[in-house]
Copies of this chain bind each other. A is one copy, B any other.
């Protein structure tokens, strides 16, 4: 029987070994920015399940999920687009599709993945299953603020020319609409959670541009006309991260540029409603689900702190010191916890959002972005 047992061990072992965890609803990925890897985490267990390597330069990276939550599409600074299988815990596809890239998005139906490139400038669109190139839309400069819109569409803007574009990929071939000049040197943009408005931050002049996406003919409108840099030569690292703008009931909240302040804006009138003095230059402002609060982290060198602000009073209600270099925060989808990446402590910390008690910590190598699979179900993420 010995050779039979051995043969069974050879053939059967992979099948009877511990199956990879199957339900995907409470999984997540943490970008490990120094080692080109992502850490697969289980949110319910508050633990790491696996490290997946070979994702190239992730010093600036983001990712998006397929509708079934099985796959992550990771967009790396080096122009890499990597498809990761969360169940097999492997890289299952990878293409270096540009020289320098800053982000991407997946269409609402999960069929197409678009990537936003600096070099060469433009947007490339790939089949989400095979990573085959399906469209190449060159731009006269660096593309920024790429986001998905309902109906297999994408929107983006171009730093060098100040134009915004809407790409409709729902028909036979792409239909690209120029939405016009939106301002000088748009540096980032974001779509509101209801896909109503595209908000574009400007580096080259004051103000913010809004485009009403529900209009039959969307047009750029300038608001917050005083918002912006005070000096010509502001260092790039002080530019606020628009992905970090929070949308709370009735208000937007955004970082005041080059100041240690939050700016609260009425969603309907686009007028300023108030300001909050903060610990440092805000980088990410993230709304805690099912609550009136937003949580804020800060730019170096004051980046050891996180503050919590009440959107009703515009006041700071809590200041936490998670550790050295807080790069990102991600909430449990229903708001009970917040996960905080602390790069220089090589940890992700988990806090209870009501008691502020630390509930767990996970070892990670220079962690930056944290992304839970629930993002698969949110427009614009």
> Chain B's nearest CB lies how many Å from the CB of A328?
19
- The total of chain A residues at the interface (CB under 8 A) is 61
A196 and B336 within 8 A (CB): no
Q: Collect the chain B residues with CB atoms within 8 Å of residue A152's CB.
A: 336
- Distance of A30 Cα from B43 Cα, bound (Å): 27
Q: List the B residue with the shortest CB-CB distance to A335.
A: B150
A108 and B4 within 8 A (CB): no
B69 and A214 within 8 A (CB): no
Q: List the B residue with the shortest CB-CB distance to A110.
A: B44
B24 and A23 within 8 A (CB): yes
> Chain B's nearest CB lies how many Å from the CB of A90?
14
Q: Is A26 an interface residue (CB 8 A)?
A: yes
- Distance of A289 Cα from B193 Cα, bound (Å): 9
B23 and A68 within 8 A (CB): yes
Q: Collect the chain B residues with CB atoms within 8 Å of residue A99's CB.
A: none
Q: Collect the chain B residues with CB atoms within 8 Å of residue A69's CB.
A: 23-26, 69
- Distance of A378 Cα from B109 Cα, bound (Å): 20
Residue of B12, B86, B149, B336 touching A12 (CB-CB under 8 A): B12
Write the A127-165 contact mask toward B (1 if CB under 8 angstroms, else 0): 000000000000000000000011110000000000000
Q: Can you identify 5 A-B contacts, CB atoms within 8 angstroms?
A: A8-B12, A23-B69, A67-B333, A195-B290, A334-B378
Given A11-B8, A12-B8, verify A377-B24 contact (CB < 8 Å): no
- Distance of A43 Cα from B377 Cα, bound (Å): 12
A-B pairs, 7 with minimum CB distance: A15-B15, A25-B69, A333-B377, A23-B70, A195-B290, A290-B379, A374-B377
